[in-house]
């Protein structure tokens, strides 16, 4: 069943008037056309190598997009949602908090997708006191067939933008908000990957052009010593580790717990729990956790999922 039962499907009696009014806003339908070149660019952006021809050569018999490519088409829509209604909104103070991606159908390697106006809405807005937490939901469809390919739920934190009243704690959104605490045992698998110093410069070409990831002076306003790697790039790298170790998955969720600086090494620790892989990621050089409360639901029947 679609979550979009009506234009006011996410109205909440606990919302302040400010939030209630913001939830009524709609953005124009946003189309996303892409080619095999865009798929390769994304795959390279999350560390696919020249030896992995299924991800970097369009002539390979098994050429495909890595699963987390699903976060890319929704940028055209989510970027159209204004945050200016929040008090003291400053884009340099915005940090990506959580991301949930559900893959509803096979991912095409080229085509035309559309983020429908009825499918782009504010799902939840929380007043965290000194910050606001804003969750949006986007459904992306095949323009020709109307089939839903992806659902994204994105939560961002805007520091300094709280104090507007209303809800402080979010609702249970199933897999999209699950705690995913790692089991009290050693990981079943560990994968280590060093990012390149130009990783953020490459990844931003897939559509996430926030200057926080390229401009030193903008990063400084956000309180960082240098531009940081996109959280979604870290998610893509860890998601690639899950795929290579345990096989394909139908959804993936992460909480962005820390930052990666381009050039640092990401270590992904994974625990298989039934049909789910719980994972976390940390930076080797600083011992800092960067992805937490993370999990992917494996596709039933895939060979690796039975490991």
Catalytic residues, which ones? 208, 213, 228, 231
Cα separation of 150 and 75, whole Å? 12
Whole-angstrom Cα distance, residue 43 to residue 76?
19
- The answer to whether the beta carbons of residues 276 and 296 sit under 8 Å apart is yes
For 29, 64, 109, 110, 111, the CA distances from 145, given in Å and listed in that order, are 16, 20, 16, 14, 11
How far apart (Å, rounded) are the C-alpha atoms in residues 26 and 77?
10
């Amino acid at each position: 069943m679609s979550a979009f039962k009506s234009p006011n499907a996410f109205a909440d009696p606990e919302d302040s008037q400010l939030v209630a009014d913001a939830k009524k806003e709609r953005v124009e339908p946003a189309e996303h056309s892409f080619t095999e070149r865009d798929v390769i660019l994304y795959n390279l952006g999350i560390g696919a190598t020249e030896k992995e021809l299924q991800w970097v050569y369009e002539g390979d018999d098994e050429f495909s997009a890595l699963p987390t490519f699903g976060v890319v088409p929704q940028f055209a829509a989510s970027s159209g949602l204004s945050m200016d209604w929040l008090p003291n909104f400053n884009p340099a103070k915005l940090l990506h908090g959580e991301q949930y991606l559900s893959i509803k159908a096979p991912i095409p390697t080229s085509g035309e997708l559309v983020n429908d106006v009825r499918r782009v809405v504010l799902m939840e807005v929380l007043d965290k006191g000194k910050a606001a937490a804003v969750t949006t939901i986007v459904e992306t469809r095949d323009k020709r067939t109307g089939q839903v390919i992806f659902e994204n739920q994105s939560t961002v934190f805007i520091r300094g933008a709280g104090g507007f009243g209303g809800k402080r704690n979010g609702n249970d959104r199933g897999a999209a908000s699950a705690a995913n605490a790692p089991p009290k045992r050693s990981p079943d698998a560990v994968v280590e990957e060093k990012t390149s110093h130009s990783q953020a410069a490459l990844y931003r070409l897939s559509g996430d052009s926030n200057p926080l990831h390229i401009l030193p002076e903008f990063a400084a306003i956000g309180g960082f010593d240098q531009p940081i790697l996109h959280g979604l790039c870290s998610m893509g790298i860890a998601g690639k580790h899950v795929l290579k170790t345990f096989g394909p998955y139908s959804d993936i969720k992460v909480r962005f717990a820390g930052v990666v600086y381009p050039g640092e090494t990401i270590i992904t620790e994974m625990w298989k729990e039934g049909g789910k892989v719980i994972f976390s990621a940390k930076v080797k050089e600083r011992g800092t956790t960067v992805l937490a409360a993370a999990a992917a639901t494996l596709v039933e029947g895939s060979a690796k999922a039975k490991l």
